[in-house]
């Protein structure tokens, strides 16, 4: 499975955010998408999922293009959005039945909750009372339930405590063989630790980083230097 981005361009008003972003993401890898604030990481994700119309270029997956691939994409947002009038348990019940056709090997709701170590007491409380981290766990769980081939994670680990973050990292590593996982982050250490490949979004373009660099002591320094380069450089 390959997700191919070819010369994608996207502007907001006069500001061009993506200026011909091209890259091929492959199955079995976790990609760390690095970029400075406002570089366009979330915009790129929205384009991949067809939430935003881009002006030029193409995004294809398994021979399908643009509007046809959104069903193949799972998206975990930085700010989790869940219907707050439901309990966690009710939401999963609804989610599983509403997505019945997309779930290959369904498990019980209890098993799903166990998967993300969600406390018994919290399962029957309204989502409205959940913490940010709890909501994020449920949001991540929806992706783990439907297991779409492409998983986009927009800064998801920042709200988790260290224990949960570690568990989620392990979980992502165990499922990566069947997916293309792209993980946007500002945290270099996290990218180096979790990801197989680093892709930089800088000056509106995507650029792969040599994986060998990840283990080198000067990794951080090199990345910072690259992200500081001006367009004309």
Partner 1 sequence: MIRALALSTRVAFAISCNHFIYFLKKLPWLGKKIPDTAYQISTIKSILSILVETARVLFGFLGAALSLAIFIFGPMFLLDRNLMNMDLFYHYFFFIYFLAAPFLNTIILQTRDMQAYTMINLLKLDKRDFFVSKVIFTLGIKTARYLLIFLLLSLFTNISVPESLMLSGYILFLALIWEYLLLKIYLKFKTIVYDKVVIVLASPALLLVICYLLPYRGIVLNLRGVLANGFLFVMTALLAGFSFWRLYSFDNYSTVTKETINRNKLLGIEDLLKNAAFADVNLAEEKLAQEETNGADDLQGYALFNHLFFTRHRRIIMKPVRTKVVTVTVLALLGWALLLFKPGFMDPVRENILSLSPYLIFFMYLLSSGERFSRALFFNCDRYMLKEIYYKNKEALLENFTVRLKKSISLNLAPAAAVAILLLGTGVIIGMGGAITRLLPMVVTIFSLSLFFSTHYLFIYYMLQPYTADLTQKSPLYSIVNILIYFISYGSIHIKTSSVVFTFAVMLFTLVYAAAAIVLTYNLAPKTFRLR
27 near 1, Cβ under 8 Å?
yes
Residue choice 24, 26, 38, 51 for contact with partner 1 (CB under 8 A): 51
Residue 159 in tokens: 């709200």
Q: Is 25 in the site for partner 1 (CB under 8 A)?
A: no
CB of 42 to partner 1, least distance (A): 12
The residue range among 67-75, 104-112, 161-169, 181-189 that interacts with partner 1, by the rule CB under 8 A, is 67-75
**C-alpha distance from residue 203 to each of 16, 20, 153, 179, 191 (Å):** 9, 10, 21, 28, 20
Residue 137 in tokens: 């766990």
CB of 97 to partner 1, least distance (A): 4
Q: Is 17 in the site for partner 1 (CB under 8 A)?
A: no
Cβ-based neighbours of 206, under 8 Å, separated by 6 or more:
5, 21, 22, 23, 44, 199, 200
Interaction mask 70-109, partner 1, x per CB under 8 A: xx-x-x-x---xxxxxx---x--xx--xxxx-x-------
CB of 145 to partner 1, least distance (A): 11
Residue 62 CA to residue 2 CA, distance in Å, equals: 7
Q: Report the SS3 class of residue 208.
A: strand
CB of 209 to partner 1, least distance (A): 30
- Interface contacts to partner 1, rule CB under 8 A: 13-15, 49, 51, 70-71, 73, 75, 77, 81-86, 90, 93-94, 97-100, 102, 126, 128-129
């Amino acid at each position: 499975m390959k997700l191919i981005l070819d010369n994608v361009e996207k502007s907001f008003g006069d500001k061009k955010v993506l200026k011909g972003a091209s890259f091929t993401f492959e199955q079995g890898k976790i990609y760390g998408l690095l970029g400075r604030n406002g570089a366009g990481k979330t915009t790129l994700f929205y384009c991949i999922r067809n939430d935003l119309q881009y002006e030029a270029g193409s995004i294809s997956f398994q021979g399908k293009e643009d509007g046809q691939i959104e069903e193949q994409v799972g998206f975990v947002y930085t700010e989790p959005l869940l219907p707050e009038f439901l309990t966690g348990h009710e939401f999963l019940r609804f989610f599983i039945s509403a997505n019945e056709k997309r779930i290959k090997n369904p498990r019980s709701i209890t098993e799903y909750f166990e998967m993300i170590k969600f406390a018994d007491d919290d399962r029957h409380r309204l989502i409205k009372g959940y913490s940010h981290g709890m909501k994020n766990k449920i949001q991540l769980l929806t992706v783990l339930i439907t297991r779409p081939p492409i998983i986009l994670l927009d800064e998801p680990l920042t709200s988790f405590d260290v224990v949960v973050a570690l568990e989620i990292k392990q979980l992502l590593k165990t499922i990566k063989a069947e997916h293309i996982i792209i993980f946007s982050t500002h945290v270099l250490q996290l990218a180096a630790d979790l990801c197989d490949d680093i892709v930089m979004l800088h000056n509106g373009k995507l650029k792969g980083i040599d994986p060998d660099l990840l283990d080198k002591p000067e990794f951080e320094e090199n990345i910072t230097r690259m992200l500081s380069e001006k367009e004309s450089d």
